[in-house]
Structure 1
């Protein structure tokens, strides 16, 4: 086993621990030789590393600062009851604030989108500890194993990173915002229907051609440059940029259902210029000054703190780097009750174009360009609704009438919101200045 794999785990420990003591490191690895590589990797942290070769030993572990599972779940990955038992034992084995890392190679499982199911299991699980606390695993990221991607062209080898946390008791139907997205707007069927409307590999207005037009507004993209794609969806835009311009793209999204599709297709296509993470843009700690470009298509309306997002984008851009965002926004007309309900149901946090420009300027961006693209949005909506109406038979051969009705009414409603200047489609482009 390459040492780069346990060292990737150590990298996340350093990111997430925030200076916390990590003296007690417990590793569960059925392959003892692989387990020992973690001992070597943790030497710089002066950690006490204990290696176990079976999940049966998990129940004996307590107060672990770091708990690592290295390909230890293969026998239980398809058994919901055993996964639940595992999660209870893993949560109880960790200290509050402790880091839990699960490395699991899923390339040989029958369901190539298994990562979505596992992310959901891990993310929503809660259990009461001995003190009565409602504890669970707070998601930091699900990333691909770098060594497997670049050396083996295996894009389905994952590292799940969590931190044990005490959560407030809740009776909500959706436990986390990721869970909300995957159980409402981005169900598997919903994603497929959206893709039918927007075009293969895309979940954004206008599909491939519109996305390419927007990407070209960055200017002269060069092979080997780097891009962060926030809200990458099912990955069409990331693979488009890599294929069209040779840019290396790190795509992130909080919807595990969407990224599971992107990852499956990436595994088929074997393009190591593209990698994905299931994570929150406001949580993931990107390296500063590391990207030439930051791009986001119609995603940031889901993000509550635009100022924090812009600050994080600013830090991760290289000096002279550019950010380009299209987003759903609010217009300047009096908002109808129906539009307010729509915004609340989608958990949107809408800004108007003036507010976006002010936040960008406050953040420190220069060469700021904003544009109201709503007229083009209206054209696209009309084109896509007409496409559905003219190809209804084909659509109904793949989906139910309720999906057809939902899309028709949804597109018609958006057109109505546009007419009242409630719903805008906004464009933003800016640059991080060079140091003086």
Structure 2
């Protein structure tokens, strides 16, 4: 098996390089020369003269995103002087610490000589060969940004084989731009967007060892490092956690369809933003956000969970207007990438109070009593098991906390074939407004208000269509006539469904008892 995989890697490397071996060697030489300029210190590891303080602020946060490694085998790539090696070795059964600079590896060896469960290895990860299915977790902090795209793809394939089935890959990278303030000479680093990382990490495959099956990485979560947000107003330090999973060819094709972003393309999101307003992709944009937030009794210092946060509009409004801290979560990688881009444009007092995370909220967990408010706009229609989700909301709220949700609902009547087909095609799970409120009551919420806002929704839709007409030339110039017609037809269809009584729109407010 190992021989077969080794041969496959060599063939893959030749194919990826595409005859540009000289260019690949130039990349490696540039990186080597770059790091030879620096002494093996924590300041050089973080490229910051504030490194000692930043290290203390971020270290335990970073480690909190790593899966349980107790009694597990860990491969640490780009270990450097061992800033994380000590913490990994103190818990894991065995750690293999790899770095391509001899001086850094030697510093790590001296720094962590008290441990007998660490193997120190000086190696370039682009040439590294390790046994298959050996490790439970692969950990890297600032590594892939020092590899070009082809090198990352090849490494991803290798990591898929080094990991055991259901093993985890954890990476932390600087996205968009540099974060440090120390610079010597030309910086050859690759500062990718989060979406570029998602695409590379999840698109590569490797044989699983079982006929017709292949292994892939599936993203479990991605989140900004809060220490960098608070200390430097920088949300672009991202941690990614992926799980190795095996898929049949049929399953893999379905997974690829998701990766191709058919539902959440960047262009599609930006089209909707042109209707709802800058940074918004929810009904009524800033207008409804302002109205609903007034119902939350928000006060400075409160913590808000924004479920289905989109591209950040509600989070920015709450942080800027009320001084609350907002943690926005969304399943869409493009939504969060745009949210991070928008966050960079916000005033300092907003930037430092907002964080974003990509995750499946139905599979995620927060400590009990983490938030004062759970806020969600037109998102839970995608989720079938609302009762379990609402029970999680209840647990995550502090005593006296409040939940506010707006969502698509269905009318009380027998539905038309068009509406039934529409719901099926979208994969929506719709309840009546009354049923929605009953589910909130079932899980323990009190003072539940289930308000039918369909008439208000229709008025907003008509207003948005009117404004959209006025922006036609500008919109068509940026997108296309076809996109314009698609949006217009969609809005008119919503008005028709709501007016006919098939579709409804509900606003739900409820409290967790003190």
TM-score under structure 1 length normalisation:
0.90
CA deviations on 1:310-352 (whole Å, 9 max, x unpaired) are: 1111111111111100001111222222222322332221121
- Given the superposition, is the C-alpha separation of residues 422 and 212 from structure 1 closer, same or farther in structure 2, using an over 3 Å criterion? same
Which of the numbers 362, 382, 390 marks the counterpart of 2:442?
362
| CA–CA distance in structure 2, aligned partners of residues 363 and 91 of structure 1 | 41
Corresponding residue of 2:162 = 93
Task: Decide whether the 8 Å contact of 1:22 with 1:65 is kept in 2.
Answer: no
Corresponding residue of 1:42 = 88
| CA–CA distance in structure 2, aligned partners of residues 305 and 430 of structure 1 | 18
| CA–CA distance in structure 2, aligned partners of residues 287 and 406 of structure 1 | 42
CA deviations on 1:202-252 (whole Å, 9 max, x unpaired) are: 10111112111011112x211000000000000010000000100100000
Corresponding residue of 1:326 = 406
| CA–CA distance in structure 2, aligned partners of residues 425 and 312 of structure 1 | 23
Shift in Å at residue 82 of structure 1? 3.5
Corresponding residue of 1:286 = 366
Q: Show the 5 A alignment for 1:8-407.
A: 8-13=61-66, 16-17=67-68, 21-29=70-78, 32-33=80-81, 36-53=82-99, 54-56=124-126, 58-62=128-132, 63-77=134-148, 79=149, 81-108=150-177, 114-132=193-211, 133-170=213-250, 174-175=254-255, 179=259, 182-184=261-263, 186-218=264-296, 220-269=297-346, 270=348, 271-407=351-487
Task: Decide whether the 8 Å contact of 2:324 with 2:353 is kept in 1.
Answer: yes
Shift in Å at residue 411 of structure 1? 0.6
| CA–CA distance in structure 1, aligned partners of residues 512 and 282 of structure 2 | 26
Shift in Å at residue 57 of structure 1? 5.4
- Given the superposition, is the C-alpha separation of residues 75 and 44 from structure 1 closer, same or farther in structure 2, using an over 3 Å criterion? closer
Task: Decide whether the 8 Å contact of 1:27 with 1:51 is kept in 2.
Answer: yes
Query: Is 204-213 or 264-273 further displaced after alignment?
Result: 264-273
Shift in Å at residue 83 of structure 1? 3.3
- Given the superposition, is the C-alpha separation of residues 197 and 137 from structure 1 closer, same or farther in structure 2, using an over 3 Å criterion? same
The unaligned stretches of length 5 or more in structure 1 are none
> How many residue pairs align between the two structures?
422
Task: Decide whether the 8 Å contact of 1:112 with 1:264 is kept in 2.
Answer: no
| CA–CA distance in structure 2, aligned partners of residues 150 and 61 of structure 1 | 41
Shift in Å at residue 359 of structure 1? 1.3
Task: Decide whether the 8 Å contact of 2:74 with 2:95 is kept in 1.
Answer: yes
Shift in Å at residue 378 of structure 1? 0.3
| CA–CA distance in structure 2, aligned partners of residues 402 and 113 of structure 1 | 31
Task: Decide whether the 8 Å contact of 1:58 with 1:90 is kept in 2.
Answer: no
Secondary structure of the corresponding residue to residue 407 of structure 2: strand
| CA–CA distance in structure 1, aligned partners of residues 145 and 502 of structure 2 | 50
The one of the two structures with greater contact order (alpha-carbon pairs below 8 A, sep at least 6) is 1
- Given the superposition, is the C-alpha separation of residues 308 and 90 from structure 1 closer, same or farther in structure 2, using an over 3 Å criterion? same
Task: Decide whether the 8 Å contact of 2:310 with 2:336 is kept in 1.
Answer: yes
Corresponding residue of 2:121 = none
Secondary structure of the corresponding residue to residue 286 of structure 1: coil
Task: Decide whether the 8 Å contact of 2:73 with 2:92 is kept in 1.
Answer: no
Shift in Å at residue 49 of structure 1? 2.0
- Given the superposition, is the C-alpha separation of residues 433 and 422 from structure 1 closer, same or farther in structure 2, using an over 3 Å criterion? same
Query: Is 257-266 or 330-339 further displaced after alignment?
Result: 330-339
CA deviations on 1:231-280 (whole Å, 9 max, x unpaired) are: 00000100000001001000000111111111012123341100000111
The unaligned stretches of length 5 or more in structure 2 are 1-45, 47-54, 100-123, 179-188
Task: Decide whether the 8 Å contact of 1:55 with 1:72 is kept in 2.
Answer: no
TM-score under structure 2 length normalisation:
0.77
| CA–CA distance in structure 2, aligned partners of residues 76 and 244 of structure 1 | 41
Query: Is 111-120 or 337-346 further displaced after alignment?
Result: 111-120
- Given the superposition, is the C-alpha separation of residues 366 and 169 from structure 1 closer, same or farther in structure 2, using an over 3 Å criterion? farther
Task: Decide whether the 8 Å contact of 2:126 with 2:151 is kept in 1.
Answer: no
- Given the superposition, is the C-alpha separation of residues 401 and 328 from structure 1 closer, same or farther in structure 2, using an over 3 Å criterion? same
Shift in Å at residue 125 of structure 1? 4.1
| CA–CA distance in structure 2, aligned partners of residues 140 and 398 of structure 1 | 34
Corresponding residue of 1:409 = 489
Task: Decide whether the 8 Å contact of 2:145 with 2:191 is kept in 1.
Answer: no
| CA–CA distance in structure 1, aligned partners of residues 397 and 98 of structure 2 | 41
